Structures are given as C-alpha cells and as structure tokens.
Structure 1
C-alpha cells in the first residue's frame, strides 16, 4: 500500500478545503457531441478499448473460495472466472471447445464444469478432463482442447482480465501504480452483499457522471447532494482518476472528520480516513464508500450495450465486516437509496441527454476547467483509439501525478 501518497492527497484536500480553492484545468475542453452517438466510433471503442484494455470483472469477494466461479458477459464476450484448488484465479472464454456452448451459468462452487449440450467436462483450471462416449467420438488430443484462457491478474482484492487471449499488455503496468493505493481498502477480506444491473445511456455519458462533482448539489439536491459543494480535486494515475472534494463533507469513519485529522500527526491517520472520494478505474469502474448500516462500497461496473445509445451497469455492493441481521438492514437501505439515485437521477438525466444528442443538432459538448476528470478521461479514450497495438505498451507505467 502506498500510504505516503494517500497521506499526500489527503493533506492536499485539507489545504484546498481550508483555502476554499481547487486546481483548475488550463482551459475549457470542447468535444464533438457525436462521440456519444456515432455507431462506427462506438464499434471502434468496443474493439480498441474494451477488447484491448484490462477490465475489472469481479472483486475477490465474489470468488473467495477454491471452486467458486462467476460466469458473465462482457462486451459480448462470454467469460468464466474460476478459483482453482491452488487458490489462483483464472479467466476463460466460457465456450466449450466441442461446439461452443457455455459450460457455466451464473455463480456457484464446483470442482468441474460439464457442458450441458454433450457432456464434455473441464476442471477448474480449464483442462478438458472428459469427452462423453470418447470411443464413439474418435481420437482427439484433450491437452489441446482446454478452455481458452484470458490474461488475468488479481490485485488489491480485485480481478482484472483482458478479453484477448493473445494480448501481451502487462496488466500491472496498465494500473500505473493505482493498485497500490486501492490496497488501502483491504478488499481481500470484504464480504459480497448484493448486486443488480441498471440500464443507462452511452457508456461515456454514464462514466462522465462518476468523474463529476459539479452536478452533486443540483441533480441530487433532494437525496444526498444538497449540502455538498460542487468542487473537486482530481488525481490521475495513468488513465485512472481519484476524485476528492476539497472540503469536510464526504463520508468519513464514525466520529471522525477532516477537522479531526488536522489535530493529529499524519502518521496516526487511520487508513480508512485516507480512502474517501470516488475511485475510477479506466475504462469502466467507479468505487465509492458509504456508511449505511456499516462501512460498505458500491462498485459500479459499466459496459457498453448493444448499440451506441445504451449501456449497462452492474452495481456490486461489498461490506467491510461480516454481515449481521442489523447490518444487513442498514446495507440494504443504503443500497436501495443508491439504486434510486443512479437509476432515476443520474441515468435518468443521462438518458434524456442521450435522446437530445441523438437528434443530431448539437455540435459540441464542453468540459470546464473545473471538470478535469472528464478532460483526462476523454483524452485517454481518444489516445487509445489513435494508438496501434504495436505502440500500446508504451502508454502505461508509473504515471503518478503528485498533489501540487
């Protein structure tokens, strides 16, 4: 865990909060509005971003034990995540090597995957261990017919995979040191609570909102945003961005606020107090802390839909501590509120924005000097669309931006 950088960012937020200031981008950014509506560009984004970049497919809490698995679809690709007897997480194309049928559905725990079409059987490590009526079927080399693996990395209690079995992109390099900060959550020991999936607008419209505190006191005035300032500090690490408020109003551990931190030596600051704000992981993840019932986080996992005007977000809610009857009630109420806020306020607004842009009469949208997170995000989207496979590796690494 990079505690020194976490402290540095918190000190930076404290200083800006006391001074009533924030860092501003050099200028207003003008973006062509058709980036949200152009089908050809949309297909390129799926291919060059979602099929090339590591995607955070699950928290460790969804597959904590050997034999646990999760079958899902990501950008049209059926994926199977498994945890082997050795405790290692693996990712595969969820497609039987006989005829292509999915070998698993949903989530569960098993020692093997049996295709429901003809009964071919694979172990948790993806090896083909059984061909039904093998003598009748004929001679095949089972060593060559295991499930197709994807590159995968489990780090900081989160699981990334690249949906290209031939990719040589280093996932750790892509994370640009950001994973060392995410380790501050200690997600390895957190508990899965609930998940659900919501429909939204174009994936970039949806993602813009996760990087934007500017809208909080306006759009969310009737839920939780009324007393939240609309200013934000942005800390980019490569394409990933942490968003913090230069104020004392974001959720903090019980009985503690930023003012208390000022009275303590930074060496005594609890790690929990250093992890507030919104953590976005390019190109499709947002992590935010809440305190309903007990400390929890909502991980928003965003994927493009079947067309340019549609996206789907799976909200995964984790609990820091083991679940009790009392804490379940509080977590449920908090998660239910967040469902309303995102579905009706954030995505409801986004879908109306989408319809207006689909009319084709808007030439540009704008990101102000106070919307640096959105500027960084759209800069990276364009950079990846313009970068060839041969040049991809040089984009990532230790791109840490220290607080100024």
Structure 2
C-alpha cells in the first residue's frame, strides 16, 4: 500500500461523514469499529492497517461515496485500472482481504488482454487431477457473427471418488479460485442451447458479453446506458454490442462475480446501479426484478427498453421455467409477463424502445438463434448510430462486432428489412 493517498482519502471520508450529518461516534458505530479506530484512520498521515478493508462496504455506506470512489480517492488502483468496472471488482476482492486484492491487481492487466476461455482451460489443464475438458463456443449469426460465451465441460476421471457437488467445489475453489470472481465464471444450470448432450458439469465463460472497462479512446460524450429487457430478451447481448460500438465499458451482472444467495445478488446489483457511471452500459438482470430489484433511477442515463412478441415470450417462459418457479410463479408465462410489467421508465423520460419481432426470429415452429442474433445486432447498430450522431461523431460503430458492418467506403451496410424496430420515445406519450 505504498501509493496510498492518506490525506485525500481521509479528507474524503471526513467530508462524507459531515455531509451525512453524523458524529464520529455514530459513524464508527455504523461502520462497526471503535471511535478510536475510525479516528486513527482519518487523522494519521499514513495508510491505515489492512483491516480497514474488512469494513470497506460499511465505510462506503456511511460516507455515501461508494466503494469504487473510495478506492479511486485512496489511489489503490493504478490509473490504467481505475475504471468503474475494475474498481468494483477490486472492491469485492478488498472486502475479502488485502492478499486477495493483491492477487486481483497482479492479474488485472492479463484479464483485460487475454482470452477468458484460454485462462480457464490452462488452469484446469494444470491441475494434478486428470480432468477431461470438452469445449463449445456459443457463436451465432449469419450477417453479424458473434461469440457470446464459451462452455467448458468438465468430466472427472474414471473412478473419481467424489460427487458432482464436490467436483464443483474442487474446480471452483481449488483450481479456478483466483479466476472465478474476476472473470465472472459460473456453473451453467439452464439449458445449454448450443450443445446436444453436454456434460453434467459445465462452466460458462464470457466472451462478447463479458464485463469490461471502457476503451481508452476515442471518448464519446454521451450519457451512460441502461438496458431493461424481459427474460430471454437478449438485453445483455444488445448492451454489449452498444457498449463496443460507443467505446463504452460493459457491465453484465451474470459475469460480475456475485455471491450465490439471491438476496445478496440483488443487494450488490442495486448498489452498483445506484449511481450513473460514466461511459458504461449496464444490463439490468431481468430475473432479479422478481426478487426485489427495482429499476434504478434513470436520471442522467439513457434507457433502452426491449420488448418482444408472444412467441418469444412463450419460449422464454419455457426456457426459464425453473428460475421463474423459484421466483414464485407456478405459471412461467405469468412470471415472464410480470418481468415485462416491471420494465418501465418514468413519465417524461426519453428512451429507445427496441422491438424484437417474432417474424424476424422464428423459422417455422422454432426460433432461429442466428436470426435472433442478427436482429439484435442490427437494432444495436441503429442505437449506436443515433447516439454517435447526437454526440457529434460520425454514425460509424467504433469497435466490436458491429465494426464489421463498416464498408471499405467508411459507410455502414444498410440493414435488411426487419419487422422489429428501434424507436426513440418519450415515456407517457402515445
């Protein structure tokens, strides 16, 4: 902690406590430390003991600054890693102790510039246990090819003396422990669309949809974006494509290293969504809207609302029936509709409405994941064009898969004729 900016950090904490109208005694009580400890943190001109990180979340709450802001003020992260996404990831590590935070910081640059799938495969291959790995990539699209994520199937060796649950624990904590949260890995329990007979143990590894910081340049001066979508509305993909097209960072809470308990997931997600973060696109997790997560305050943000037709809704209810049942809906279709009703913006708020039309998605009786991907990509491209024009930039995507739509002339390919559309609306108006 040789780079700790003691004076700046202490002043920020003092100012936050004053702004809340709290005495030092009351602030210390809420943080959970003796008043003498809090005083030593903010009056001594050196870095506090590492135990301060045991109370980082409480400090953020008492000062009203947020964990990421406290980290930036303290100078804990190097400038190259001081984006809101990296700060939030490091904050989680800091709460678990400075040693794990150091591990995160040592890995952080590698996490930005190397493939998550490669890191996971290398770590499992280096294990003394002779695991068999089966890897599939979820790559979709005819006109705009996108690799969403990778599935790493893990098969224990013959005669492995442990249950599947114990195998999960070994892989998650002993083999991938240093990568699991920074990469936002998780065990796939829903239907694996791209694998006919997957192994019982499948890890989902993000690619296009991964949480990542903004691009260093160019800087597009536009509001941060929040994507609100129904379940299986592909809001996460839309968000990631818009983020890349604008040079913004992407935050997908599926890949945010959240704890397993839903109450904790909702609490942390609500905290991360509480304040607009510059140059970021957040996708609000649809299922959490049934577990107490509220649509965040949209002031200073650009909302994107996704809608879909009855056939997609019915398909969504079938795919996510177990998750909807856990949320209290014996009728999964009613659960899917409840999420759509929760996805709303306040009157007077300007937003983009994206409609995914059944006609663009279904091929006969079944949805075509390639056509669905292309529909989402073309809608994302239209949003990117409009935001860039509004910010005074040429209407040409700056990065990501959408950049492949740019012709040698510098113009963007025109989209095919779609039944779905992107419309700029003002909430409350017909």
Q: Return the TM-score normalized by structure 2.
A: 0.25
Q: Return the TM-score normalized by structure 1.
A: 0.26
**More helix by percentage:** 2
**More strand by percentage:** 1
Higher relative contact order (CA 8 A, sep 6+): 1
